[in-house]
Chain A
Amino acid sequence: MFKSSAIHRLCLMAPKPQRFRHFGETAPPGTATNKPRTLTTDATASAVDSDPNPMRNAFSKYASYLNDLVLFLSVLVNEKRERVVKASRDVTMNSKKVIFQVHRISKNNKEEVLEKAEKDLAAVVDQYISRLVKELQGTDFWKLRRAYSPGVQEYVEAATLCNFCKTGALLNLDQINASLRPLSDPSVEPLQINVLDYLLGLADLTGELMRLAIGRISDGELEFAQKICSFVREIHRELMLIAPKMDDASDMKTKMDVMLQSVMKIENACFSVHVRGSEYIPFLGSEDTNFSLLGVPEIE
């Protein structure tokens, strides 16, 4: 128990020396790159040949020990990172499947489709998020954030999309985190999705909602599309105030631009149906009615 935690702590520190080495390699060409290498080879060579100085001999041993340790630890950390990346990728893949499932919605099969989507989402949590949680348990969440962030964002997207279709409301960060709490060991700090990943996931959600809205419109569910439209507008309006305060603001800025495009796409689709609806409606009804006489009152 103690051992593993000690290795753990070392793991956290391991990349540092590695980074130093990188510095040496990427330093200005010529002098800086060559110098350390010749120095070390000189030291080991002379130590092996003959050792007029026992201290030097001892130190060369320390050096190789330290090198091995660094190598070993960096492998450990990299392995862990690899596993986290892999777990995150699985979360992404399966969350995407949930999103596709939600898009299969149509007028008549709403309950059924959403039920399946929720079941799939629960499976994502049980199988993949739990693996991610286990990998990250006891580690600093921020340290490996880059490795798991894409998966978490995708999961946020899927969970909020499902919830919106079911309840018409936004799933809060606290609610998501509360649902993930049972996954982690109660003795350690539980995995909590951070604000940034949640917001980035929300930004992506609007793109999915745009697709959903367009699909609903072509299916004739105008009210649902309207509901999506005002929901997305609201999210865009709120995120606009938050976006410049986020850590990677430039990344978020492009997402905001895309989001505005999505909002406008939904608005334009609603507009087209609203205006041109006066042509479709009489068509479905009796054939000999005047378009504008029937069309206009229908819209009001």
Chain B
Amino acid sequence: MAAGDSASHSPHSPAVRSLEKQFQEFRHQLDDSGSLRERIRSVAADIESAARVMHSSLLLIHQSRSIPEVFKKAKALIGVLIELYGKLAEIMGERPGQYYRYHGDWRSETQTVVSLLAFMHWLETESLLLHAEAEEKLGLKSLEFGLDIEDYLVGICFMSNDLPRYVVNQVTAGNYDCPRKVLKFLTDVHAAFRMLNLRNDFLRKKFDGMKYDLRRVEEVHYDVKIRGLTMKGNSTEKQGNGGRS
């Protein structure tokens, strides 16, 4: 019995060798995924810094600069983002089916990117940037790599957070029709979100916050309308004048 025991624990026994082999394999696998993660993180850091520059250039909209002027730099940065997402897609292409394993590493960056794109899209077209359009803008249309729906939705919520500030500054600059447009848009977006069945998670929290943005825009709209300031900007808003008398 003692002899058998010592044999199974000697370093050359098959049991020990298979154990060693298994852990060696684990180490290789983890080293491998670790280095992959590092590559992903470096791309994600580049995305973050490009998004940051883009955000900062978009902030000029609050100083009531003209839209083409503000967009010039931001549009150039979209090109950079397309390239970076291409890189990310390439890296993930090496590991098919593991998108959600590494998803967390580019998640928050992507949400910010979506919010910026959606804001720009609204300024240009006064409509909501759809999920497919967002993918197209980032050059992900033809690729295996896609934009996660939840990331897209969180990005839209982030955009909604920026709208009250935009409205306030537009009115201060004398653009009295802006609150009406933003209010209509935000009401539609909010109504659309209410159709979703959300889990009790980050997205739900962000969606819950959206109603405060909506309320703030409503307040601004009310303030402007009750003073009859809108009637100058838009002929259909004449009832603002009648309501007061």
Contact = CB atoms under 8 A, between A and B. Distances in A.
Contacts of A244: 48-49, 52
Contacts of B53: 241
A299 interface: yes
B21 interface: no
Interface string B159-184: 00000010011011010000000000
Contacts of A279: 227
Nearest to B49: A244
Interface in A224-242: 230, 233, 236-238, 240-241
A271 interface: yes
B63 interface: yes
A50 B134 CA distance: 86
Contacts of A268: 168
Interface residues of B, number: 25
B222 to A, nearest CB: 10
Nearest to B168: A271
B135 to A, nearest CB: 27
Contact of A276 (B165, B223, B232): B223
B198 interface: no
A278 interface: yes
A295 B232 CA distance: 12
A240 B55 contact: yes
A275 B232 contact: no
A278 to B, nearest CB: 5
A95 B241 CA distance: 52
Chain A interface size, as a band, is 20 to 34
Interface string A269-300: 01110111011000000000001100110011
Given A267-B168, A278-B229, A296-B229, A233 B62 contact: yes
B228 interface: yes
Contacts of B49: 244
A236 B229 CA distance: 31
A35 to B, nearest CB: 34
A69 B168 CA distance: 65
A264 interface: yes
Contacts of A276: 223, 227
Nearest to A264: B165
B213 to A, nearest CB: 12
B84 interface: no
A275 B55 contact: no
Contacts of A270: 172
A240 B56 contact: yes
B228 A240 contact: no
A292 B165 contact: no
A272 B216 CA distance: 13
A167 to B, nearest CB: 20
Contacts of A274: 171-172
B171 A271 contact: yes
B82 interface: no
A230 B165 CA distance: 14
B59 interface: yes
B43 interface: no
B168 A237 contact: no
A267 B63 CA distance: 11
A230 B55 CA distance: 17
Nearest to A275: B223
B62 A300 contact: no
Given A271-B220, A278-B229, A300-B174, A292 B241 contact: yes
A53 B165 CA distance: 81
The CB with the most chain A CB atoms within 10 A, among B55, B59, B169, B227, is that of: B227
B224 interface: yes
Contact of B227 (A237, A241, A271, A275): A275
Interface of B: 48-49, 52-53, 55-56, 59-60, 62-63, 165, 168-169, 171-172, 174, 220, 223-224, 227-229, 232, 241, 244
Given A267-B62, A267-B169, A278-B229, 6 more contacts: A241-B56, A244-B49, A271-B171, A275-B229, A296-B229, A299-B229
18 contacts: A230-B63, A236-B59, A237-B56, A238-B56, A240-B52, A244-B49, A264-B168, A267-B62, A267-B169, A270-B172, A274-B172, A275-B171, A291-B227, A292-B229, A292-B241, A292-B244, A299-B229, A300-B174
Query: Nearest 6 pairs between A and B by C-beta?
Result: A292-B228, A271-B168, A274-B172, A271-B172, A275-B223, A237-B59
